[in-house]
Amino acid sequence: MKKVYLAMSADIIHHGHINVINEASKLGEVTVGILTDEVIASYKRFPLLGYAERKAIIENIKGVDHVIAQETLDYVPNLEKLKPDYVVHGDDWRTGEQKVIRDRVIAALKQWQGELVEVKYTDGVSITQLDDAVQKIGITPNARLRRLRKLLEIKPVLRVLEAHNGLTGLIAEKTKIEQNGRIKEFDAMWISSLCDSTAKGKPDIELVDLTSRLTTINDVLEVTTKPIILDGDTGGQVEHFVFTVKTLERLGVSAIIIEDKVGLKKNSLFGTDVLQTQDTVENFAHKISEGKQAQVTEEFMIIARIESLILKAGLADALARAKAYIDAGADAIMIHSKEKEPDEIFAFCAEYATFPNKVPLVAVPSSYNHVTESALMEAGISIVIYANHLIRSAYPAMLHTAQTILQNERSLECDIDMMPIKQILTLIPGGN
């Protein structure tokens, strides 16, 4: 019996896949390599079904003899283990991003006189269209809530973008680029207190109350499916915080980050230029543990934000607080800095790495923004938040347009900087 290998993500199955499996089974004993969740998340998007579920489906399809995990996009590690006589694939990978993978398959097969068999691609099936259709259905609050933890399990570092209304939510949800054969996108959204307040024309001092913040969250929830991390400021009074936690869980928010400050909260990026008071370790640890006890789901995350570096309380204080907050039940630690260089963040990460009891680390590289995601990841950061970038780019553009109209007493001169009317009318589908 000849050995046949084919690989698939098997997240959305259609008749094209069945055709490939049928053709493969005519050639011999079929082993299907199922891409792991990590691989799918690294090049495409969050898989709709987990590996175990996808494996169970494929194992039960006629013509499939064995199912194994394919832990890289590259087929070669599995091919070298299996040394199949044939690899079967649709003929759609001869050009485009998959060509490199195809070339490596051909080269590997040559070593043992194996052969690549390409099946004519099934017309009329568009995975992109199927993906879009699934996306349109939306997501339940529970599934969305859980997704942040799952993403932390399957991706080495998560990339999070601020959203302060439905439109910016859509940008965070839908913006994708293709780079080196991989689709890159944001994993989750950050509802920033700075951006939410600024968008409402208010200062970032916990003035925008929870009811108003919930309206923003709801606007974002309505048009997106990605997980939400809420900037919860100080979390307020403990007695209030326990209610907030339940409210957020009910909506499907995945996490709240609360900062260890008391009194009139000011934005951290002011640093010591304004009066800001750090909470005691005991009080803040108490707030965390009360929040943890209040939550209904297993998966909701309470993330403790340490302001010691912002307030110049030193590295030792930051580390001591991290330990105490983890002991109190914090699901992750956000370490913040407003320095232009990441030295104090990296120093924190190096010491943190020696902790026996660790939770994921979150960084917000607004000031030290020359540091790349991969450098942060190597330092031990698991979540990178781009905290204010959409509002900071939108405001100057809008201001420029307003000034241009004033200068010219008409809007013709703005055209060059604006999207055409036709485009804005159809930007959000369903309006025509």
| 192 touches ligand SPV (CB under 6 A) | yes
Interface characters, 257-276, with ligand SPV (x: CB under 6 A): ----------xxx-------
* AA letter at 161: L
**Residue of minimal CB distance from ligand SPV?**
192
Query: Is 204 a residue of the active site?
Result: yes
Cα 312 to Cα 229, 285, 363, 399: the distances in Å are 26, 20, 17, 35
CA–CA gap between residue 205 and residue 197 (Å, rounded): 8
195-214 residues near ligand SPV, rule: CB under 6 A: 204
Residue among 233 and 290 whose Cβ is closer to ligand SPV:
233
| 86, 5 contact by CB (below 8 A) | yes
**Active-site position among 196, 204, 233, 279:** 204
Cα 191 to Cα 257, 306, 380: the distances in Å are 10, 18, 23
234-273 residues near Mg ion, rule: CB under 5 A: none
175-194 residues near Mg ion, rule: CB under 5 A: 193
Q: Which residues contact 179 (CB under 8 A, 6 or more apart)?
A: none
- DSSP annotation of 340: S
Chain centroid to Cα 89, Å, comes to 30
Residue among 267 and 308 whose Cβ is closer to ligand SPV:
267
Residue among 24 and 364 whose Cβ is closer to ligand SPV:
364
Residue among 206 and 290 whose Cβ is closer to ligand SPV:
206
Q: Which residues contact 305 (CB under 8 A, 6 or more apart)?
A: 257, 258, 259, 260, 333, 334, 335, 336, 362
| 47, 54 contact by CB (below 8 A) | yes
Distance in Å, CB of 257 to ligand SPV, minimum: 8
CA–CA gap between residue 291 and residue 432 (Å, rounded): 46
Contact region with Mg ion (CB under 5 A), list: 208-216, 223-231, 287-295, 308-316: 223-231
| 231 touches Mg ion (CB under 5 A) | yes
Position among 9, 165, 168, 193 found at the interface with ligand SPV (CB under 6 A): 193
Contact region with ligand SPV (CB under 6 A), list: 116-124, 164-172, 188-196, 216-224: 188-196
- DSSP annotation of 138: -
How many residues of this chain bind ligand SPV (CB under 6 A)? Answer: 12
| 364 touches ligand SPV (CB under 6 A) | yes
Joined tokens for residue 164: 């302060």
| 195, 162 contact by CB (below 8 A) | yes
The footprint of ligand SPV (CB under 6 A) covers 192-194, 204, 231, 267-269, 364, 366, 387-388
Active site positions, annotated: 204
The footprint of Mg ion (CB under 5 A) covers 193, 231
